Structure 1
Amino acid sequence: MFIYSSVYGIAKSKGMVLVVDTYDHIKTVFPNLHALSINSAFEFCYSSRVVYEKRACAYDIETVQFDNRKNTTLKAYLQSWKYFKEVEKEIRRQFVFKQKVQDKAQAIINNYTNEYIQHSNVSNNLQIIGVHIRRGDYLKPGKIAFGYKVATESYLYKAFKLFRSKFKNCLFLVFTAPNKVDINWRKDHIDGSDVMNVDAHERDVDMCALSKCNHTIITVGSFGWWSAWLNQGITIYYNDVVEPNTDLSRDFSEDMKDYFPPNWIGMQ
């Protein structure tokens, strides 16, 4: 999603056309993309001039300063909202899930909300906060050595507390990746009378459900990032995601504002 959005934004700014392969996975998730779809996209890319980025999670002006008269392939992660800030409305119109995915996601929210209301008798001005927890793969030795960190229990406590102080009635729907490490950690560390743990579904359904909540709390990873970006409510993010002086830290701008939008609330 980062790559598509950023390349789309760069192409628009340079008067170029974004090309994707007909069978690219992103087209199976979002059917309304405005890119030129061709069967031979991979062959096209291999025969074009290649441009590399310097940092994966920071805006790099040199990345976009290439000759727009030549076919170009961007070999990059392009994980900065700044690459597509001028086409944000267009991206939002393209990143619309299939109706069956939206229906399933809404049903999940409705089912958990209705269950909560029945047990709590709280329904007036109920604010639904989608929480995404990712830990498992970030705890692997290689990831840790590269610089990845995971969000702490104290961060989540502070994030929950902020929403509870801001709104009278909250319901926290907590999503995780479908692995035992994350599911067990959630069970052992996240609780409260206004907290409900959500069973894992297909990844597009879970992202869609998170985007349909009123607000979001995210931990680490691009799945949570995009869930929050699509949501457009208040987002709280973990701002201690990288170990200093590591290979990963050099992928970010010093203040990380190239990666995290300025209207999001960072905590640790």
Structure 2
Amino acid sequence: MEIRYATNPASTKSYDTEGLRKEYLIDNLFVPGELKLTYSHVDRFIAGAAIPTKEPIKLEADKHTMGSDYFLERREIGIINIGPKGFITVDGTEYEINNKECLYVGLGNKEVVFRSADPANPARFYFNSTPAHKNYPTEKIDLDSAESQHLGSITNSNERTIYRFIHLNGTKSCQLVMGMTLLKPGNMWNTMPCHTHNRRSEIYLYFDMPEDGVVFHLMGEPNETRHLVMRNEQAVISPSWSIHSGVGTSNYTFIWAMAGENQEFHDMDAVPMKDLK
């Protein structure tokens, strides 16, 4: 398990490109046949991925880092499949998870196992996990059952649909809020005008990008912005004090997950365009 420590705005101002990428970029998540985990001290997030090929992959706890006997002993998790059909078994119950479908698994479940329907064309499971204090039921969510909201316009190159999977008015959790945003073809901007939410941090995963495509992920304080060049299936840690927006060379999809003091999706501090620097 890779560990990332918390940073602050003052130190981030001095980072060069390599420094920014070392602190905030999560790369090499999707490795065939392996479970990959990154532990962030920002709200105790864990971001990870599993690509089961010939053999299923069990979600294992890193006892040294987590101090627990099994992964969900003190945690909850949201899992989204961004690849072909797969299956997730939770304490003996198997769930079929197709592309862009989500499974929430709550505190106390001891065994979570990932399996692909076709090992030669494996599922690509991405997940976010946060600390939890009580058990909520395991629940599958697809695009049809998710709460959706259409935003933006082609005029501003930001026409998109937000799907909320795990949230206050949908699948219940202790603190994890998770969903997905799909940009329409011909649209490149997300979350602009931008905002911060000082009470919550966030992790983005960008995917459905062409091999030669990039997203310029904007971060930093509104008056001290920085950027990271993101490629397909890379994630980025967004601390609570940072904006989190992006523009791509073509349309793309991203998974967002939040954790912190509350679960109010609309609890955010808007940044006027004139204040960006």
By percentage of residues, which structure has more strand? 2
TM-score class normalised by the smaller sequence: under 0.3
Higher relative contact order (CA 8 A, sep 6+): 1
Looking at secondary structure, tell me which structure has more helix per residue. 1
Structure having the higher Rg = 1
**Length-normalised TM-score, structure 1:** 0.26
